[in-house]
Amino acid sequence: MQLWLRKFLLGVIGVEALIFLSTLPIALLVLLQSRVRSPFLNIPEFLLPPAAMTLLGFIFAAAWWQNRQARKYARAWGIAASLINVGIAIPLLIYLPWSASTLLWIPPVGGVLGIYIFSRKQTVAIPREEGLRRPIPGDGTNKVLDRITKPLSFAMGVALVIWWLNWNQARGIRGQNDIFLYLQIFVALLSTTLIHECGHVAVGLALGMKLRVFVIGPLEWKMRGGKWEFHFDLKALLSNGGKAGVVPVDAKFARWRMAAMIAGGPGINLFSAAIFLVLASRYADQKATALPGFLALLGAASLWAFVFNLIPQRTRTNYSDGAQIYQLLSTGPWGDMHQAILVVSSSLVTPLRPRDYDLVTIERAANGIQQGRKVMLLWLYVYQHYLDHHLLVESDEALLKAEQLYHEVAAEVTAELHTVFVFAVALLRRDAAATRAWWQRMEAKKPTRFNSDYWMAHSALHWMEGDRRTAEESWAKGNELAQKLPQAGAYDFDRHCFALLREAMDEPLAAA
């Protein structure tokens, strides 16, 4: 929670830095125009406020940069920016009416939180995203485009909100000058995300795929162990992010079908944008309600989602819809990678096991791309393939390649995925120190799912460290959970891994 708050506060400080640093250049442009009409303008008096605001912008920028880079005086800069937020916002809140100051409550509230957060010693480092967003050759993205897409997205969002406000004002539609305005924006963004993800799901189901994950903002539905689970993520309460995880039910699922499923999200956004804008114009004469204004806002938000989802870009842990469509339809290693992932995904709902994977396609993709989290996953698929064939030497070689890539993408690896490394290192190498190191990396990620994989890793760790009793208890607990998993290839492999661990634990110590 502390890390999430720190990242949120740095986001606020970063936005403030951009706003404040732009005040002096804007004032100078205004001055050049005003001098023509009013040569007697008091220049120092006119420029003093924007100059002061620009100075504050440098402080905000320094606080953002120092904390992002984890520099020596990061905490001091963070506290200074927080104090400024409290100091400059309170006078404005005193004199401005509530209806005009809703967003102005963010800086003082953030300032109070910032004084608390930045005064505490940072125990968890903020993942640095520069390396994560480094373009990989052939992935369809561009380093410059990746850097400018987010500012462009923000600018287009602001421009559309301004257009929406002017549209409402021109038609005399009420609901602009109170908190209801901000609520409309939040609901519109969340609704746009819902429509986008439903587009993915609808096309996927129509093409014979199966839904396993559906996330809208803080609401998460996930299929785990054959059962649907609901989770409310408080940290994502103000997020409009979403995810629709659909998997093919056939190992020979065509790439173009997957591309069509991905295109379904932006496609339905474009279609809904046209529908909402037409309806807004049709009902614009209903000035007594906010309905036409809200429909216009939904249309603008849908248009924004269509444009920026199709821009090929690399996010922190994945790729945009546009980049994935390009990769799926391309030839070479990126097409091979998606084909391999499609096959692996189908093992969740078919009898296909890792021993049935197309090893040639997986290795060709991994050797062609060579970097990134997904390549690490490809080598883990190779490890599973050989382990399912009981080829332990080849399995360990593939695991080593995955480990080498792990250190480049550690910030992207979930806590649950670490259980694979814990189990594999214990089983294949019988190295207690290395097994403990992988376990500590997993604990640093604060795992929340204590499923069969977790208990298998827990058993392997304590077996390696000689705690036979704990190892036996954990194995029994995990094996019981594994036996309850659905009949599918991926879960059959999990049960196979428990059997392998059982055999290893039963070996005489000298033989092991």
The DSSP annotation for 429-455 comes to: H--HHHHHHHHHHHHHT-----SHHHH
240 pLDDT higher than 80 = no
CA dihedral 66, 69, 71, 76 (to 10 degrees): 30
- 227-231 LR contacts (CB < 8 Å, sep 24+): none
Reply yes or no on whether the pLDDT at 132 is more than 50. Answer: no
pLDDT band at 238 (very low <50, low <70, confident <90, very high): low
Task: With a cut of 70, say whether residue 6 has pLDDT above it.
Answer: yes
CATH architecture of the domain formed by 366-506? Alpha Horseshoe (1.25)
The residue-averaged pLDDT of 97-112 equals 61
pLDDT at 130: 41
Look at 34 and 188; give whichever has higher pLDDT: 188
User: 128 falls in which pLDDT band (50, 70, 90)?
Assistant: very low
pLDDT of residue 331: 82
273 pLDDT above the threshold of 80: yes
CA atoms of 326 and 93, how far apart (whole Å): 49
Determine the average pLDDT of the residues in 344-369: 92
In eight-state DSSP terms, residue 229 is E
More confident residue, 88 or 23: 23
Q: What is the mean pLDDT of residues 366-380?
A: 92
**For the purposes of burial, counting CB atoms within 10 Å of the CB of 143, is it exposed (0-12), middle (13-18) or buried (19 or more)?**
exposed
Q: State pTM to two decimals.
A: 0.75
User: Is pLDDT at 467 greater than 70 in this prediction?
Assistant: yes
Residue 79 predicted with pLDDT over 60: yes
| DSSP-derived 3-state class of residue 134 | coil
Annotate 142-164 with DSSP letters as a single string.
Answer: -HHHHHHHHHHHHHHHHHHHHHH
Mean pLDDT of 136-158: 82
The mean pLDDT value for 315-326 works out to 86
Sequence-distant (≥ 6) Cβ neighbours of residue 102 within 8 angstroms: 178, 179, 181, 182
Mean pLDDT for all residues in the chain: 84
Handedness of CA 436, 441, 443, 447 (dihedral sign): negative
Distance separating alpha carbons of residues 164 and 126, to the nearest angstrom: 36
Closest by CA to 114, choosing from 62, 87, 75, 88, is 75
Q: How many residues does the chain have?
A: 512
Mean pLDDT along residues 367-396: 94
**Low-confidence winner among 168-182, 229-243, 419-433 (lowest mean pLDDT):** 168-182
Lowest mean pLDDT among 107-121, 125-139, 223-237: 125-139
pLDDT of 101 over the 70 cut = no
Q: So what's the pLDDT on residue 299?
A: 94
pLDDT of residue 49: 82
Tell me where in the chain the CATH 1.25.40 domain(s) lie.
366-506
pLDDT at 300 over 60: yes
